[in-house]
Structure 1
Amino acid sequence: MTNGSALPRPFLPVAAWYTAGPSRATMVEPLGPDGDDIVRRDLAHLREAGFNTVRGWIDWASGESSPGEYHFEALDRLLRHAGEMGLRVVLQLYLDSAPDWILQEFPDGRYVSQGGQAIDSQGSPGFCYDHPGVRQAAEHFMRAVAERVKDHAAFLAYDVWSEPHIVQWAYFDYLPQPALFCYCHHSKQRFRRWLKGRYQDLAALNRAWYRGFVSWEAVDPPRFISLMTYTDFIDWQRFIIAKITEDLAWRARTIKSVDPVHPVTSHSAVPAVMVTPLVEQGEPDDWAVTKVVDIWGTSFYPKHVGAKETADPAVRGAYLDSTRSACASVGKPFWLGELQGGHGYVGTFAEPVTAADIRAWTWGPISHGAKGLNFYAWRPMSRGYESAGFGLTHPDGSPTERSKAAGEVARLVDRYADLFAAAQVPQADAAILWNNDANILWGCLREKSPYVPSRALLGVYRALFERHYPVDFVHPDQIAGVAGGAQGRAARPVHEEVGHAGAGGDAGWAGHDVGPGAALGLAPGPEPIEVGRYRVIYMPFSIMVRRDVARGLAAFVEGGGTVVAEARTGWNDEAGVVDRSVPGSGLRELFGAQEHWTAGRRDLQEPVVLFVDPAPGVSGFEGGRVTGAFYQQALEPLEAEVVGRFQDGEPAVTVRRAGRGQAVLVGSWVSLAYHVQRDPASGAFLAGFAQAAGARRPVLVEGASPGQVEARLSRGETREQGPFGILYVFNHSADELAVRLAVDPPAGAGRFELRELTAQDGRPGALGSGKVHQAVVWPGPDGRPRIVLDDVRLLPWAVAVVLIRPE
């Protein structure tokens, strides 16, 4: 089907998790003599609802009850019945639910905490893959699974690691918190090898750590943070991040050694921008792991109990845009590995979910560019800490309004799969730097909560989101690439340890590298992001900055970009050392200013007040009082102009013009303050830099309060349809709204037809019954050529999806 022959019809998997009756992941429970009837009935309901894919699972514990004795009966049954009903199958592979015989075979294979406690697995977390025997046994199992499924016509893809951590799905309340892993003999040896690669010789390590090791065997992973230096703990956190990436590559490589055709995927528990490395025993770097699998993604639980902010549309948008951006850094597609399907039941707490929630949660990821959705789960959880939660159906598998709503969207996506597969989210003009080096330093400062780092990023995102500016997130490595002449663009890699299949052929979409999985009809990723194309980069939480990143930022500014940084940027360099100034690492020269003195305010409700002057060309903010948080950093201008002051008259905001661009330094955390306090002036101040830099807004919205309406525009082109756009409009309020939209046309001037896809099947639409409307391009409110739609009526909590194409 490749090498010039026609590819299959584009296919976007919209799946629900299901394996065997009421069995909940990761478990595969026997169903008895009527098992075939139960699975057939459940899959029939799933198919009738509108889903085109089922996401099954197999765990190592049930799949290999003794060495070399495999039990794939439930997997065979799922594949057989799914194939009979025309459903594709995505397979979740669980190694961390490991068989108990591993302990008898390898008594030293247990995870060991920083306190020396060896952890017995109780269904999880399994055993340490740094142990060569455990690793080899896991490889045998993975290969056996791949051999079993690879030739089945219904099989579509693997997910080789659900929510990667060092250890997972277990609560070690009896250990010191946070519990760190792994300190077994084999993990120590691996850490030493990593250190040798980083420092080359022992003398360099001793200088960096301020230690006196006499041999590499004497080097031990750090277990605590000392007063004088935390370079060792910085290295430990970086090692854990690298270890997760390498272990994911190992799993993918093992599967690909047997099956090089079907895509290998994985997904995080929470996007990296929302967490810090010490949370949940290690967190992956989204930008690193996306290089070693064909498709990366995230779990997405807007009403998971305890995640109080995730129902917020701006927070949901950041979840999705950050995952999309990580994948787009290397031109990969992203999927939602887990999408909340039902009520959030966790322990004694609960949060209801409605059909309207499901519609918004389904269209939300698609509008952000997701090319696959996997609802968790078809049936509610039958056991454990999440009992009765997260299912689309009732516990007996019968339909609910939620399952019907999800199925309606699935059916519509499948009907227009060629359009949704080809549509891509264009690179934005504004980007937010996710600086995991700063998050590492945050942990070294004995700060365990990810709240401040993530909410600083969310403050910038919210300010732009509410004003309809698209936003990307970028990684320090992408910034560093600008100084290296690569303009921050990472070529689409074909990872030598993983490999990709399915490139080439006669795609149903036009002018695009079809990418991995194309031979199966799966959608491609976007063109890789180029940092040099951004107009403005925000770096709201960057208390540690590498020198190569500082050089990349300087090159970006010289080339005409705007950089906006906040208090204590570049406080430490990559080794955890203060440079000759704050900011350091060469940033003092970029910003033309340095720290004079700093006062810290830990109470986020205690405002830091800044008075900002109008600065045309620097910011679209008209000037006035702005609220900051956490720090008052008095700045000393060296080669910079002061454009804002604190209440006491000390310089608070400076700007230095360099080359064709400019670098702005703000002496407080306005971004964090805006997320917490929502001061309108602070939001306007943050968004003003994007406005002044000329950042595009593909859709303008009039007639709604900030945050009430979200409007997004994807673009695509197919050989059959030509250029087109898909407009998504979300009413995030309980009010019926009448708004005016001004939309970038998908092609040049002319006449366009608009069809509201979500108004079919008798449902009312924002444009009126889903019929075709004609629109003409004319100057919109901002003077740019726009398709202007007056009196678009949005029902409470409604989603409108509108196809736009030339007549």
Structure 2
Amino acid sequence: MIGLGCDYNFEQWSPDVWREDVALMREAGVGLVAVNVFGWSAIEPRPGEYDFAALDEIIGLLHDGGIRLNLGTGTSSAPPWLTHRHPSVLPVTADGTTRFPGGRQAWCPSSPVFREHALRLVGQVAARYGDHPALELWHVSNELGCHNALCYCEASADAFRVWLRGRYGTIASLNTAWGTAFWSQRYSEFDEVLPPRSALSVRNPAQLVDFQRFSSDALLGHYRAEASVIRKHSAAPITTNFMVTAHIRNQDYWSWAADMDVIANDHYLDHRLADPRAELSFAADLTRGLAGGRPWMLMETATGAVNWQPHNLAKEPGQLLRNALTHVARGADTICFFQWRASAQGAEKFHSAMLPHAGTGTALWREVLELSAALGKLGEVAGSTVQADVALVFSWESWWATDTEARPSQDVRYLDQVHAAYRALGGVTADIVAPGSDLSRYRAVIVPCLHMVSDDEAAAIRRYVEGGGTAVITFYSGIVDPDDRVRLGGYPGAFRELLGVVVEEFAPLLPGHELPLKGGGHATVWSERLRLTTATAEATYEDGTPVVTRNAFGAGEAWYVAGGLDAETLQSVVARAAGTRPSTVSKEVVRRGEYVFVINHSDRDVEHPVVGTELLTGRAVDGELSVPAGAVRVVREQSQRKEA
């Protein structure tokens, strides 16, 4: 089955509302409910004093209603008594400012005091509920690092130095890795090293990247500590909710994924982006990549507006179903919402919910019921896997290294370039993979802005092309090694021989400036002074400088995009190089196993060639599927089924 679930912050409501809510959850087909995500101050109102009465009661009501538990450890936000008694727990920003309680996640990931109290609470919760018959899943903390990923306090400084000793062994190795010979930054002992706190000038970029690595590892360490306590009391699977989304960049989830029993993600449409819908698809594909291609769960999303953007837009009629089934099409076996009942108070009182402020007599409630019915008809899809023969390489370390303080152009942002490359696939489903992955099963691989790359990671791409694959590499790739040291001899460094070009100088463009290409199209943001060695030019600027090149290498070929091409030109280049056939903007088509999802984002009917049975309507499809405006159709393809 495809599960439907939600967060339930029952602490906001009286017991009579709990009973009403459980009845409505059953009506809506909700089968999984997260509780105790923010429960610390309720279940431990004073240090060492526990009150589980309310949590016992709501768990009992849910269990009696046949609803499974996604049980939070309750540690995501410290109770006021903890930070009042132990202010050292509070996080400190780069400028030395303490961040106080009043919001959430007001704790330092490296604080031993916070860790001690949090693990004591986890032990109490796990011992009490670890073998409860309703328990489906453990939910460690919540959105780890959403607000407190980078802390610069003294506890963090001590932990950073321990991490650096483990990474480098000697202070001489650290000095070499960080290039401290420049600006008289050489350290004589580890005790002199600080987190990269605010400075009068730009800071050491290698130190900044290492602090990002350390901070990601510190939060992962906290997850592991909570999970270890849980496993002493429970055999249920354990996870936490990732934030694979456009505005969170501080965790390297490639290094986290192996610790999760289930890969779970939170995703909300971000209307600050030029194309929120494309970013939704990208995030779902990246989450599937973290899951190793296996099914995953959407731990949180919204039925409508969120509360934390400058303009919190409601979803259009039908959009809830389209968005949810996009996640299902791209591998999700469970769809959960924040939250069940819209809050009447607190910071998220204007965040949408499954049950809105206006109640059940609303269009939104009817859409929730429609989604529930649709998921019920897609049960046979569960467990199937998405089929893709194109991959896109994604790197959190390159994100950190690209978006640093001193770089050739502040307009070159890593995620912008990744999203541009993803959109250039024109709707072709892609697997998102880590640098260094085995690429042999893909017919084409897109490598956007892989600025920081190790020798082994670069070699994996080289082997792929030598073996007959096609790689499309975009500008600002291969420039630095994992120590953020420039690869000398001409850009693009690690990929120079593979691409058959030498870039002698970057030539970034001023805002609003365009360089026209011969035959049409243009570049913005970026250009390069490039010469060919073994490559041929596939497109040039009007002055004859190459901007798109192709190089035969082994049995395959490597293409290079040396400028910030406009969207149409970039899509054309990717289609030529990768042999892709882009779909229309309005029609999203994804194959998951033997199932073909067709999502119509337009205001008119669209057609798609397929033979089989459409699951949402139960109708046979004999060659041509008609999808009404704004609708979704899912076809079990007949020919695929016979072959199976």
TM-score by length of 1: 0.73
Among 446, 449, 471, the residue aligned to 2:430: 471
SS in 2 for 1:48: helix
Matched, 1:29 2:19: no
The CA deviation at 1:633 is: 0.9
CA displacement, residues 644-664 of structure 1 (integer Å, 9 cap, x when unaligned)? 221111222322222111122
Q: Is the 8 A contact 2:294 2:385 kept in 1?
A: no
Q: 2:6 aligns with which of 4, 16, 30?
A: 16
Amino acid paired to 2:385: Q
Partner of 2:301: helix, strand, or coil? strand
Choose the corresponding residue for 1:400, options 338, 348, 362: 362
Give the residue type in structure 1 aligned to 2:82: I
1:800 counterpart = 2:600:
no
Query: 2:146–2:248: 8 Å Cα contact kept in structure 1?
Result: no
User: Quick one: which amino acid aligns to residue 595 of structure 2?
Assistant: I
Residue 477 of structure 1 deviates from its aligned partner by 4.0
Q: Contact (CA 8 Å) 1:732, 1:798: kept in 2 or not?
A: yes
Q: Is the 8 A contact 1:371 1:421 kept in 2?
A: yes
Q: Kindly provide the amino acid, as one letter, of the partner of residue 222 in structure 2.
A: D
Q: Matched residue of 1:793: which SS?
A: strand
The whole-number CA distance in structure 1 between the counterparts of 2:528 and 2:190 is 42
The residue identity in structure 2 corresponding to 1:771 is R
SS for the counterpart of 1:336 is strand
State whether residues 453 and 494 of structure 2, in contact with CA within 8 Å, keep that contact through their aligned partners in structure 1. no
Aligned to 2:36: 57
Partners of 1:540 and 1:634 lie apart in 2 by: 19
Equivalent residue letter for 1:573:
D
Aligned to 2:498: 590
Aligned residues: 632
Taking a change above 3 Å as real, the CA distance of residues 536 and 63 of structure 1, as seen in their structure-2 partners, is same
1:424 to 367, 381, 385: 385
In structure 2, which of residues 564, 572, 575 is the aligned counterpart of residue 684 of structure 1?
572
CA deviation map 1:62-107 (0-9, x unaligned): 2211222122233212211111111112123442321222235534
Contact 2:399–2:414 (CA under 8 A) maintained in structure 1: yes
Give the Cα–Cα distance (whole angstroms) in 1 for the partners of residues 307 and 195 of structure 2.
Answer: 38
2:604 alignment counterpart: 735
* 1:299 equivalent in alignment to 2:266: yes
Greater alpha carbon shift after TM alignment, 797-806 vs 224-233? 224-233
1:673-730 residue CA offsets vs partner (Å, 9 max, x unmatched): 31xxxx3x43222222220xxx6x7xx97xxxx2111122211xxxxxxxxx222111
Q: Could you tell me the percent identity over the aligned residues? A: 25
Distance 1:163 1:559 in 2: 41
Which runs of no fewer than 5 residues in structure 1 stay unpaired? 1-10, 21-27, 169-179, 278-282, 479-487, 489-530, 612-623, 716-724, 744-753, 760-769, 776-788
2:46 pairs, out of 66, 78, 82, with 66
Following superposition, the deviation at residue 366 of structure 1 comes to 0.8
AA in 1 matched with 2:59: L
Counterpart code for 1:307: R
> Which residue in 1 is equivalent to 2:416?
455
Letter in 2 for 1:370: A
- What amino acid is aligned across from residue 57 of structure 1 in structure 2? N
How far, CA to CA, are the matches of 1:625 and 1:238 in structure 2? Answer: 43
Alpha-carbon deviations, 1:286-325, whole Å to 9, x = none? 22221111122322222x5x5344643x222112111111
Structure 1 residues 309 and 645: CA distance shift in structure 2, 3 A:
closer
Amino acid at match of 1:297: A
Secondary structure at the aligned position of 1:758 is classed as coil
Q: Relative to 1, partners in 2 of residues 1:71 and 1:471: Cα closer, same or farther, differing over 3 Å?
A: same
Match of 2:554 in 1: 659
- SS of the residue corresponding to residue 594 of structure 1 reads strand
Q: In 2, are the aligned partners of 1:655 and 1:665 still within 8 Å (CA)?
A: yes
Q: Is the contact made by 1:608 and 1:631 (CA closer than 8 Å) also made in structure 2?
A: no
SS in 2 for 1:458: helix
Cα drift, residue 48 of structure 1: 0.8
Name the structure 1 match of 2:217: 242
Q: SS where residue 413 of structure 2 aligns?
A: helix
* C-alpha displacement of 1:420: 2.1
Distance in 2 separating the partners of 1:94 and 1:410? 28
> Could you tell me which amino acid in structure 2 is paired with residue 567 of structure 1?
F
Structure 1 position 609, deviation (Å): 2.9
8 Å contact from structure 2 (residues 391, 433) kept in 1: yes
**In structure 2, do the counterparts of structure 1 residues 187 and 437 end up closer, same or farther at CA, with 3 Å as the change threshold?**
same
Given the alignment, which residue of 319, 322, 328 partners 1:360? 322
Alpha-carbon distance between aligned partners in 1 of 2:30 and 2:84, rounded to the nearest angstrom: 43
Q: Distance in 2 between matches of 1:394 and 1:228?
A: 47
State the Cα deviation string for residues 177-214 of structure 1 (Å, max 9, x = none).
Answer: xxx83222221111111111221101111233313323
CA positional deviation for 1:569: 2.1
Structure 2 unaligned segments of length 5 or more: list them: none
Distance 1:584 1:730, change over 3 A: closer
Alpha carbons 2:3, 2:375 under 8 Å: kept: no
Q: Structure 2 matches for 1:258-657, cutoff 5 A?
A: 258-259=233-234, 261-271=235-245, 274-275=246-247, 277=249, 283-302=250-269, 306-309=271-274, 311-312=276-277, 314-328=278-292, 332-346=294-308, 349-395=311-357, 397-398=359-360, 400-414=362-376, 416-417=378-379, 419-426=380-387, 428-446=388-406, 452-466=413-427, 469-478=428-437, 488=438, 531-583=439-491, 585-603=493-511, 605-611=512-518, 624-657=519-552
1:322–1:473 Cα contact (<8 Å) kept: yes
1:246 partner SS: helix
TM-aligned CA deviation for residue 407 of structure 1: 3.0
> How far apart in 2 are the matches of 1:550 and 1:69?
55
- How far residue 733 of structure 1 moved from its aligned partner, in angstroms, is 0.8
Alignment-derived partner of residue 188 in structure 2: 214
Give the counterpart letter for 1:203 in structure 2: A
Query: Any conservation in 2 of the 1:341–1:378 contact (CA below 8 Å)?
Result: no
Superposed CA offset, 1:33-86 (max 9, x none): xx1x32111111111122222222342222211222122233212211111111
Mapped contact 2:140–2:239 kept (Cα < 8 A)? yes
Q: Distance in 2 between matches of 1:449 and 1:99?
A: 40
**Is contact 1:546–1:585 with CA below 8 Å preserved after alignment?**
no
TM-score relative to the length of structure 2: 0.91
User: Is the contact between residue 334 and residue 371 of structure 1 (CA under 8 Å) also seen in structure 2?
Assistant: yes
Where 2:255 maps in the other structure, the secondary structure is helix
